[in-house]
Copies of this chain bind each other. A is one copy, B any other.
Amino acid sequence: MTNPDNAAKEVADRIRGGRNFLITSHRNPDGDALGSGLGLQRLIRRLGKTAAMQVRDGFNRALYNIPGANEVAITDTLPPDYPKHYDAIFTMECPEVERTGYPVLPGPVVNIDHHLGNTMYGEINYLDLEAPSVGEMVMQLNRNHLRLPMDAETATAFYVSLASDTGFFRYHNTTLRAFEAAEELVRAGAVPGDISLWINESNSRGSIKLLGLCLSTLEVTPDGKIATAELPKHFFADAGATPEDTEGIVNYGRSIDGVLVSALLKEVDDKSTRVSMRAKPGVDVQAVASMFGGGGHKAASGCTMPFALAEAKKKLIAILEEIV
């Protein structure tokens, strides 16, 4: 792998040498996808150049608080003048090019990411596996090469990126670099309490009620290592909830002392159940998900099991008991 800072310099040179850019990120964009892209967009514009951001899917309304998020186009296709009229497209936080949901290749692609296993599909690949977030990588690029002053709006976008990808400074990627970045962003005008308020305290009513219904089904195996919760279809109606409202529920089981794996079992129909799993360090739930054609990574994986909910739960617990 190229030294990240050398790649960052190449990216800076490409920005300086060009005039018209596109920025995109992965499907179902999260705080880092949008925060890193919108921060980069502001830096490029500060240089008097053009940069439009577009993503394939819509996103959580809390993220509309990121300055500039209202301007992000949500579209199924790239502009008709792509790639001809663009000096590059930036793909933020996409380990594979397909994650964008767009046919960005062939065309000049600048790939900016921090995931192990990035397929290096770009003309420039700026990869930094040590970076707490992709937004932080853009900050490094700016600090070392573009050297533009940071305004409060840009700082807010990067703060969202940093806070999202570190779980608000809870995950193990909360490194010295993460806190150095946070310090720089607060100095530039990001307000941590406000950002947390709109990201962490703007849940929907349905999501909280659905959380309650699911957690009331919580079960822990006798050895205390496996936690399960159930989500039969009627819970959505009972709670006035939508499919997005299930996010995060599976983490509650994992947060129990002694629990190594948490699984949320969601009824799809009478022959299939969607399973989300979360593991504490040392347990690999991806191995289990892959038995049913699912994916993810060691600590967080999902799959669909070809059984009704009760049956799926029994089988899943039996499999998990083998590995914990």
Which A residues have a C-beta under 8 Å from some C-beta of B? Answer: 163, 167-176, 178-180, 182-183, 186-187, 191-194, 196-197, 200-205, 208-209, 211-218, 220, 224, 227, 252-257, 280
Contact = CB atoms under 8 A, between A and B. Distances in A.
A186 B178 CA distance: 10
A187 B176 contact: yes
A169 B172 contact: no
Nearest to A166: B192
A212 B214 contact: yes
Nearest to A193: B172
A215 B218 contact: no
A57 to B, nearest CB: 21
A214 to B, nearest CB: 7
Contacts of A216: 209, 212-213, 216
Contacts of A169: 163, 168-169, 182, 192, 196
A239 to B, nearest CB: 8
Contacts of A168: 168-170
A190 to B, nearest CB: 10
Contacts of A180: 183
In the A-B complex, the 10 residue pairs with the closest CB atoms: A212-B215, A172-B193, A212-B216, A174-B192, A202-B257, A170-B196, A179-B183, A169-B169, A201-B255, A179-B182
Nearest to A207: B256
B171 A252 contact: no
Contact of A201 (B178, B215, B280): B280
Nearest to A257: B202
A299 B197 CA distance: 14
Given A215-B209, A257-B203, A176 B170 contact: no
Contacts of A167: 196
B215 A211 contact: yes
